[in-house]
Structure 1
């Protein structure tokens, strides 16, 4: 009788499950993502910024402020997307659908360029091809006595080449996963019917993978237009501006209103093309390519072209993975970039101050600023990995367990917003919000706390997606049983979800760690001399004519990021069917 009396009340409470945690998650996501962006938008329409939109878009200065950088940005975006889709798609086709030898090697090497920070590849390019146009040291090629043309050393061409070399692995990862789902029976049936290879590719393979190709193009476009490091290192010395570099320059000289307008315009450019890509994907017909019938893997027989195509693929991967790392390491040991492989010494690593070398700056092992930056960078990576994983787990728990809710839908949309916002624009938004105190919140600019908060918000989509993936592997019955016994949400998360999903969460935390320690776009505006970071120091040393220090610091970042990435991949232990026979 007692249980019957209590049952309706229990049902009433169960009708509104998780309202507190849903509101908490919505509040956190709103504070981290929506508020900074609303603040930067509101500032551009305030009395302090009167006329700024007109100045940026329609005044005599507008070409230098916006339209010129926009042209360069669009050219880099479209050309990078096209190059990445062509190279990444070519490698994905070889690995997933042909009998090319050493597929595993090519597949592994094709994923490595994205582990290398883009500024590392740009520094390696400068060490090879830098000429005397902007003064200072020349690169290895000119040091050998060969004249390097300006178009190859600086400006649009080297910036585009480096961006493609960095981002094609992103396109490869997206396209190869799609190619791996194609039913081999379709290909085999077409071959038996006498269809030529080109006809099979155009009639079967391309329609199936076109959504992945569009997605790869959209992602690489958005990544290229928001990249700051490469155009800053290879374009700014010859006054080639993009929206990202112009935004950095405006805020750097105190013209924050113009900088914030450029940040909003950069967000719009990136978001529009990502939206168009998603529309193209969602508007296409879907194709069923996976059936319940098992079958042999049917690959295109390359015949006599197997080894020539392997050679082409290997050269592409070798030039974009091994060569940059070797160049960076050699430059950190050589007295100058013009003599990369002679007179090596360890001064830039362990040398004491010497007035005859690098204006008396000691090697990174004895340089207090670099040692401090190393500690702060690693500390930032650890702190952001912890905070992002914690917030991501909370948000992912809400999205996985309370799906049918308007609040959950709003949270889901807000967590995707940082994907549309370039890192440098996100940094500008956090300067707008926390550059000055408001209410009980003090000014946070130049503090470690601001770096952690901004990075947590910026990387939130990655932690949420990781959290959702691991939470969905934990049976909801366990959580429901614990809830019926009176366990609260935090108790259930700590006692059930986290222990069962620990490996996946750790893997996601490592990925976040890697992303923030090698990031430059987000932190370049938040950097202060009191809060140095390795990526920004590498950029500063390179800009000030100390490439050996810049490259040595970059090697340190590379070692940390690659080691953490490999460890994360080991934890994930994801199957890669395109690498299997």
Structure 2
């Protein structure tokens, strides 16, 4: 007699290369049930809403309110359109708008043209040492704008700058403290990022069409103008618009070169209205100017989105493989190399050398044997022996680290909710974190200032005001790192931990945190470097309690004390800090790979 035994059919084993299906129904149940997961999602949602929306609301409120103290949304405030009518009825507003457009468009046009030429020569031609040139061009992308502006103010000095010394040989002189000087220096700042964006597109471009044009008898420049340029036009347009938004937001160049020559743009007008030299702050006027600045930043983005909707017609990368062929420059090969390498050295090396020279000169008066005789290390020894630099570096690192830590914690949890959640609220978190990217830095600083001037939280005038500002400013950048990082982690790992009885904090500490360590490190370093280099936020939010950052102290020493030697020392210290961060980031990337 045999006994029949029944067994349940086993599920087929998935293939080893099976793609993770993403959040399963059971994981969504875990997110939907009233538990610590839902509570965490609600808390982080409220935090992101508070960080992003509340400052903007208070800034908008300041636009339509006035009071004796200038503070918005207080019992003394009254609703009015006087700020708007004052700004738009003033002819100087339109002068500011025109000057801002001329400054931004001209700098982007000049810098973008240089970037296109450099990218095409390094990626599509047989120019010697293309990798060396590539590295040198993008090296200055990590150099803070304030340092570049100060260095070029020395290089282009009307009376003793090396550039004007050379121009003087032919009877010419160039004044950097004019709109033309601002455009030139800002254009040099535009080149690295625009070059990086355009070079990536050129590297992926199929050369078949260029080869066909050459076979038809077209010369090199004709091929570039009729074939290459239309193909990478979308990438070039994206680089131009990105550079335009950054230039509209620029504070360092207009402050260092424009303000001494009475050349004002909108970003500087926002600062001057919020922190006037004499009288009470005019926050309502500052907010109105800030709205104009926001409009200037948003309009190109909508234009870019419309243009990119038809960009697919320029597609050249298909399923068929290709190998990029470099075009021969012929007799222009070495002349082009000399010109390109000379520009790269001028852009990347000369500013740092000029700052070093200024740091060992008691007063700057050009070069020569007399200048060598004046060489002194007093500024270096006095700064380091007094402990001032150590204090500034410690404060800067502390504010940068706290800002980076807070930003990564918020964005990591918000990204987890956005990726794992199914509700509209969860999906909208990622978009909400990206919103500050649409606002210029000086506008974010003003909005945060408005909020904490009114709310009785006690952080106005402390370093925590700067930390709050940097968190808002850094949310878009950090979320672009954390959201893809969370999406790469299979939800089954969290489900297995939950089924085993692990609580949410244990899932984060023992499952997610170890797997996301690399993502968190990268995001932390990016935010930290951004805080070191930023000038817009310390300009409005710093200086209240003595917790002064390096960028703020450099500006104070240069503008108010007129001590270019000490300012140069501080600039080089900031360059060293930024370089250390870049090296740490590079080492951490290699360690993960």
Q: Normalised by the shorter chain, which TM-score bucket?
A: 0.7 to 0.9
Residues 1:223 and 2:246 are matched in the alignment: yes
Find 2:549's aligned residue among 513, 520, 533. Answer: 533
Please name the residue that 2:375 is paired with: 344
More off after superposition, 499-508 vs 258-267: 499-508
More off after superposition, 309-318 vs 336-345: 336-345
Quote the Cα distance in structure 2 between the aligned partners of 1:184 and 1:47: 61
Q: Does structure 2 conserve the Cα–Cα contact (< 8 Å) formed by 1:159 and 1:235? A: yes
Residues 1:415 and 2:443 are matched in the alignment: no
Task: Tell me how far 1:521 sits from its aligned partner.
Answer: 1.2
* Alignment CA distance shift 1:144-1:105 (3 Å): closer
Quote the Cα distance in structure 2 between the aligned partners of 1:494 and 1:90: 49
- CA deviations 1:425-471 (Å, max 9, x no partner) are 11111110001334xxx232221111111101101111111112333
Residues 1:504 and 2:519 are matched in the alignment: yes
Residues 1:161 and 2:184 are matched in the alignment: yes
Superposition RMSD in Å: 2.7
Task: Tell me how far 1:283 sits from its aligned partner.
Answer: 4.2
Quote the Cα distance in structure 2 between the aligned partners of 1:345 and 1:236: 30
Residues 1:13 and 2:29 are matched in the alignment: yes
- CA deviations 1:72-101 (Å, max 9, x no partner) are 111111112212221111111122212211
Residues 1:543 and 2:559 are matched in the alignment: yes
More off after superposition, 408-417 vs 239-248: 408-417
Please name the residue that 1:578 is paired with: none
Please name the residue that 2:91 is paired with: 63
Task: Tell me how far 1:309 sits from its aligned partner.
Answer: 1.5
- CA deviations 1:35-77 (Å, max 9, x no partner) are 101111012212437311111111xxx223x222212111111
Q: Does structure 1 conserve the Cα–Cα contact (< 8 Å) formed by 2:149 and 2:256? A: yes
Q: Does structure 2 conserve the Cα–Cα contact (< 8 Å) formed by 1:423 and 1:458? A: yes
* Alignment CA distance shift 1:286-1:462 (3 Å): farther
Quote the Cα distance in structure 2 between the aligned partners of 1:99 and 1:145: 33
Please name the residue that 1:77 is paired with: 104
Please name the residue that 2:394 is paired with: 375
Find 2:293's aligned residue among 257, 261, 266. Answer: 266
Q: Does structure 1 conserve the Cα–Cα contact (< 8 Å) formed by 2:64 and 2:284? A: no
Please name the residue that 2:84 is paired with: 53
Quote the Cα distance in structure 2 between the aligned partners of 1:532 and 1:218: 33
* Alignment CA distance shift 1:295-1:477 (3 Å): farther
Task: Tell me how far 1:200 sits from its aligned partner.
Answer: 4.0
Find 2:63's aligned residue among 40, 44, 47. Answer: 44
Find 1:435's aligned residue among 453, 459, 481. Answer: 453
* Alignment CA distance shift 1:405-1:335 (3 Å): same
- The alignment partner of 2:326 has SS state of coil
Quote the Cα distance in structure 1 between the aligned partners of 2:331 and 2:164: 39
- CA deviations 1:217-248 (Å, max 9, x no partner) are 11111111111111111111121111111111
- Matching of residues 463-478 of structure 1 within 5 Å: 463-478=478-493
Please name the residue that 1:306 is paired with: 333
Residues 1:568 and 2:591 are matched in the alignment: no
Find 2:417's aligned residue among 381, 395, 398. Answer: 398
- CA deviations 1:277-315 (Å, max 9, x no partner) are 233223433444334444433111222222221222212
Task: Tell me how far 1:348 sits from its aligned partner.
Answer: 0.9
Task: Tell me how far 1:174 sits from its aligned partner.
Answer: 0.9
Quote the Cα distance in structure 2 between the aligned partners of 1:181 and 1:490: 44
Q: Does structure 1 conserve the Cα–Cα contact (< 8 Å) formed by 2:27 and 2:495? A: no
Please name the residue that 1:86 is paired with: 113
Greater Rg over alpha carbons, structure: 2
Quote the Cα distance in structure 2 between the aligned partners of 1:458 and 1:532: 19
More off after superposition, 510-519 vs 9-18: 9-18
Q: Does structure 2 conserve the Cα–Cα contact (< 8 Å) formed by 1:436 and 1:444? A: no
Task: Tell me how far 1:142 sits from its aligned partner.
Answer: 6.9
* Alignment CA distance shift 1:281-1:104 (3 Å): same
Which ranges of structure 2 fall in alignment gaps of 5 or more residues?
Answer: 1-24, 71-79
Please name the residue that 1:118 is paired with: 145
* Alignment CA distance shift 1:12-1:517 (3 Å): closer
Quote the Cα distance in structure 1 between the aligned partners of 2:168 and 2:307: 47
Q: Does structure 2 conserve the Cα–Cα contact (< 8 Å) formed by 1:511 and 1:565? A: no
- CA deviations 1:240-264 (Å, max 9, x no partner) are 1111111111111222221121122
* Alignment CA distance shift 1:12-1:245 (3 Å): closer
TM-score, normalising length: structure 2 = 0.85
Quote the Cα distance in structure 2 between the aligned partners of 1:318 and 1:27: 49
- CA deviations 1:311-331 (Å, max 9, x no partner) are 222122111110000000110
Please name the residue that 1:244 is paired with: 267
Task: Tell me how far 1:366 sits from its aligned partner.
Answer: 3.5
Task: Tell me how far 1:527 sits from its aligned partner.
Answer: 1.3
* Alignment CA distance shift 1:451-1:153 (3 Å): same
- Any runs of at least 4 consecutive aligned residues in structure 1 with deviations exceeding 6 A, and if so which? 9-12, 141-145, 147-150
Residues 1:318 and 2:333 are matched in the alignment: no
More off after superposition, 93-102 vs 562-571: 562-571
- CA deviations 1:353-392 (Å, max 9, x no partner) are xxxxxxxxxx321445544322111111111221122222
Please name the residue that 2:125 is paired with: 98
Q: Does structure 1 conserve the Cα–Cα contact (< 8 Å) formed by 2:434 and 2:479? A: no
Find 1:176's aligned residue among 170, 192, 199. Answer: 199
Quote the Cα distance in structure 2 between the aligned partners of 1:305 and 1:11: 62
* Alignment CA distance shift 1:12-1:556 (3 Å): closer
Q: Does structure 2 conserve the Cα–Cα contact (< 8 Å) formed by 1:143 and 1:338? A: no
Please name the residue that 2:530 is paired with: 515
Find 1:28's aligned residue among 30, 47, 50. Answer: 47
More off after superposition, 444-453 vs 283-292: 283-292
* Alignment CA distance shift 1:145-1:280 (3 Å): closer
Quote the Cα distance in structure 2 between the aligned partners of 1:568 and 1:492: 27
- The alignment partner of 1:337 has SS state of coil
**How many correspondences in the alignment?**
542
- The alignment partner of 1:410 has SS state of helix
* Alignment CA distance shift 1:146-1:382 (3 Å): same
Task: Tell me how far 1:15 sits from its aligned partner.
Answer: 7.7
